[in-house]
Amino acid sequence: MPVVVCDSSTLIHLARIGRLSLLSDFHDKIIVVPAVWKEVVEEGQDKPGSSEIRDARESGWIEVTAPHNGPLVQLLQRELHKGESETIALAVELHADLVFLDESDARRVAKVYGLKMSGAVGILIRAKLA
């Protein structure tokens, strides 16, 4: 099964337009890091999409996993937010097949680590072509 790690922006964008399910249409499981879960579900509990993302975890297609490489997370936090840093660190650790990132700074850093990327627009284009 391909390993797919997702940052908060892709979850938020797709949830806000009612298309979060596209992620599960194309991927059996999406992994998010604790900082993303906290931002999107806990701190964003009153925002559109938060309950759908919580439901996705309860149904098993979103999983929360923490990166183990603390020094890499700290290094990445010099340039990126905590969620982006944890997402990239976990993708590197797991040798992820795909990482969903929408922010240009995060994409630039992920490229340095050789990560294959997509984002909300990419998933919408894939859905349109399917």
Nearest to 35 by CA among 64, 70, 61: 64
For residues 67 and 15, give the distance between their C-alpha atoms in angstroms, rounded to a whole number: 24
Model confidence pLDDT, tens digit, residues 88-119: 999 999 999 999 999 999 999 999 999 999 99
Q: How far apart (Å, rounded) are the C-alpha atoms in residues 31 and 69?
A: 16
Domain count, the chain: 1
Q: Encode pLDDT of 5-41 as tens digits.
A: 999 999 999 998 999 999 999 999 999 999 999 999 9
User: What is the pTM assigned to this prediction?
Assistant: 0.94
d(CA 41, CA 50): 5
The CATH number linked to 41 is 3.40.50.1010
Q: Identify whether the C-beta of residue 110 lies closer than 8 Å to the C-beta of residue 18.
A: no
Q: Which structural domain, as residue segments, surrounds residue 113?
A: 4-129
